[in-house]
């Protein structure tokens, strides 16, 4: 067994590394970071210069590079073409010592990347029920004793990569299922939101715009990816409780009677109650609360609970700014929408003591840090509102595509 300094050589080292990869795989569900780590470890385990993970695309009957070291663009090949394609089609490992003299080798990838392939090892990846998932490929076995530093892959390398491909296959299958569920969930919630917006055609794109504005603010304020996604989902569903508000109240143009006003306000608590019945899953348990608190005010005079300042989660304070700003810029049959800079100014007023729209003395409603973030975003985009449409991810979610 020949080795290279810094790479694992003993069976114990390799076993430990393989176990680490298995542990790591079990703890992640997001496909991309998971595969990045697996690909990196695969190279170390078999002392390869680089490794690539190809996935099988059932629709087109092609395999494509989902992730590869040294690759900056996706490469696609018909199933059966090239070493990876042949290993995937024939469901067996293929080991090649001299690529350019092998009939399997497709020099197209080298031509596209400027890399020189010498030795190759490809093993197929299958799901638990033997469906083809893709192929794991290691390229150029590093070997200090070879004249040019590149040797051939050994029987042991085949065993190690086959073992890794087996573990990775379980993870890839899980991650693909997870991604599929996520896409289904996204298209489902956007469809729900549209059903509410449809109750009042004059505010048809309200939810989409609130989502885009809230997501942009959350990202700008440096919230973690998980928190930004919570903001997105809560924004999509924030007015869902309106489904339980009578249409004539929702669409009434004139002043609302006390009873109607209460019915209108009840949409927040309805949002919480309805969403609480949904099993949101890990990390999303707070969605009903975040969504339902978008009419709370910092001075404690909002609804449904009259929470004050920090008692209101930051995510809900972000929704509040997005909701107010969108309502101000939106043109409706009975009012002309404000230009973004004026709407922003109104939001600033609402961060201080001010007179509310009923002329009442009112304390701070909106969080100044959140309004500040919105101001910075508007300035960076010169007030272009299309930016928020894109940020909402609405069309992608609706089409069940990845965000």
Q: Which stretch binds Fe ion (CB under 5 A): 102-110, 129-137, 231-239, 297-305?
A: 231-239
The residue from 49, 62, 239, 315 that contacts Fe ion (CB under 5 A) is 239
Report the DSSP pairing between strands 132-142 and 76-78: unpaired
Nearer to Fe ion, 157 or 323 (CB): 323
* Nearest distance, CB of residue 210 and Fe ion, angstroms: 6
How many chain residues bind Fe ion (CB under 5 A)? 2
> 289 phi and psi, to 5 degrees?
-70, -50
How many other β-carbons are positioned within 10 Å of the β-carbon of residue 199?
Answer: 16
Q: Which stretch binds Fe ion (CB under 5 A): 151-159, 170-178, 235-243, 371-379?
A: 235-243
Q: Which stretch binds Fe ion (CB under 5 A): 67-75, 217-225, 236-244, 284-292?
A: 236-244
Secondary structure element (H or E) that encloses residue 362, with its range: strand 361-362
Nearer to Fe ion, 41 or 326 (CB): 326
Nearer to Fe ion, 92 or 252 (CB): 252
* Nearest distance, CB of residue 237 and Fe ion, angstroms: 11
* Nearest distance, CB of residue 64 and Fe ion, angstroms: 41
Nearer to Fe ion, 281 or 306 (CB): 306
H-type alpha helices, 155-286: 155-197, 206-220, 225-237, 247-250, 258-276
Q: Which stretch binds Fe ion (CB under 5 A): 79-87, 253-261, 298-306, 317-325?
A: 317-325
Strands, E assignment, 35-155: 48-57, 62-68, 76-78, 94-96, 120-126, 132-142, 150-151
* Nearest distance, CB of residue 219 and Fe ion, angstroms: 20
Nearer to Fe ion, 140 or 207 (CB): 207
* Nearest distance, CB of residue 250 and Fe ion, angstroms: 11
* Nearest distance, CB of residue 206 and Fe ion, angstroms: 6
The residue from 37, 49, 126, 323 that contacts Fe ion (CB under 5 A) is 323
Nearer to Fe ion, 34 or 234 (CB): 234
Nearer to Fe ion, 264 or 396 (CB): 264
* Nearest distance, CB of residue 256 and Fe ion, angstroms: 14
Q: Which stretch binds Fe ion (CB under 5 A): 79-87, 92-100, 322-330, 384-392?
A: 322-330
The shares of helix, strand and coil residues in the chain, as percent rounded to the nearest 5, are: 50, 15, 35
Nearer to Fe ion, 239 or 367 (CB): 239
Secondary structure element (H or E) that encloses residue 242, with its range: none
Q: How many helices (H) does the chain have, and how many strands (E)?
A: 15, 9
Task: Report helix, strand or coil for 102.
Answer: coil
- The pair of structure tokens assigned to 32 is 């991309």
* Nearest distance, CB of residue 324 and Fe ion, angstroms: 9
Asked if 234 contacts 213 with a C-beta cutoff of 8 angstroms, the reply is no
* Nearest distance, CB of residue 268 and Fe ion, angstroms: 6
CA distances from 251 to 200, 217, 268 (A): 6, 29, 17
How far apart (Å, rounded) are the C-alpha atoms in residues 270 and 263? 10
Q: Of 135, 139, 137, 159, which Cα lies nearest the Cα of 14? A: 159
Binders of Fe ion in range 245-284 (CB under 5 A): none
Q: In angstroms, how far is the first alpha carbon of the chain from the final one?
A: 45
37 scored as a contact of Fe ion (CB under 5 A): no
Nearer to Fe ion, 296 or 323 (CB): 323
Nearer to Fe ion, 49 or 239 (CB): 239
Asked if 65 contacts 71 with a C-beta cutoff of 8 angstroms, the reply is yes
Q: Which stretch binds Fe ion (CB under 5 A): 54-62, 146-154, 245-253, 321-329?
A: 321-329
Question: Computed over its alpha carbons, how large is the radius of gyration of the chain?
Answer: 28
* Nearest distance, CB of residue 335 and Fe ion, angstroms: 16
CA distances from 212 to 144, 163, 236, 350, 363 (A): 54, 44, 9, 21, 27
Q: Of 312, 308, 402, which Cα lies nearest the Cα of 363? A: 308
Residues that bind Fe ion (CB under 5 A): 239, 323
């Amino acid at each position: 067994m020949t080795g290279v300094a810094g790479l694992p050589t003993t069976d114990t080292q390799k076993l430990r590394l393989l176990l680490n990869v298995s542990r790591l795989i079990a703890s992640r569900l997001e496909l991309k970071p998971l595969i990045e780590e697996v690909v990196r470890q695969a190279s170390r385990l078999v002392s390869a210069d680089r490794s690539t993970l190809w996935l099988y695309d059932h629709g087109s009957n092609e395999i494509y590079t989902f992730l590869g070291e040294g690759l900056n663009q996706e490469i696609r090949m018909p199933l059966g073409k090239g070493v990876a394609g042949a290993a995937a089609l024939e469901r067996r490992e293929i080991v090649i010592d001299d690529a350019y003299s092998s009939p399997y080798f497709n020099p197209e990838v080298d031509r596209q990347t400027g890399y020189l392939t010498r030795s190759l090892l490809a093993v197929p990846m299958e799901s638990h029920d033997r469906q083809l998932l893709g192929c794991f490929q290691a390229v150029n076995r590093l070997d200090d004793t070879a004249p040019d530093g590149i040797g051939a892959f050994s029987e042991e390398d085949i065993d190690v990569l086959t073992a890794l491909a087996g573990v990775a296959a379980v993870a890839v299958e899980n991650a693909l299922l997870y991604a599929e569920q996520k896409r289904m969930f996204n298209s489902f919630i956007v469809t729900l939101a549209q059903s509410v917006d449809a109750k009042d055609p004059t505010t048809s794109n309200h939810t989409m715009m609130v989502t885009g504005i809230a997501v942009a603010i959350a990202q700008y304020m440096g919230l973690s990816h998980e928190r930004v996604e919570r903001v997105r989902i809560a924004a999509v569903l924030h007015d869902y409780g309106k489904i339980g508000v009578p249409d004539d109240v929702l669409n009434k143009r004139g002043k609302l009677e006390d009873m109607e006003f209460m019915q209108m306000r009840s949409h927040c608590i309805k949002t919480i109650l309805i969403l609480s019945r949904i099993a949101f899953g890990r990390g999303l348990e707070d969605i009903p609360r975040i969504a339902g608190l978008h009419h709370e005010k910092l001075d404690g005079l909002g609804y449904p609970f009259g929470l004050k300042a920090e008692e209101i989660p930051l995510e809900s304070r972000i929704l509040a700014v997005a909701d107010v700003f969108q309502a101000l810029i939106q043109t409706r049959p009975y009012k002309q929408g404000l230009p973004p800079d004026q709407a922003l100014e109104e939001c600033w007023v609402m961060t201080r003591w001010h007179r509310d729209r009923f002329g009442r003395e009112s304390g701070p409603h909106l969080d100044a840090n959140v309004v500040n973030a919105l101001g910075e975003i508007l300035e960076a985009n010169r007030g272009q509102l299309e930016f928020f449409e894109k940020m909402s991810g609405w069309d992608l979610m609706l089409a069940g595509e990845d965000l």
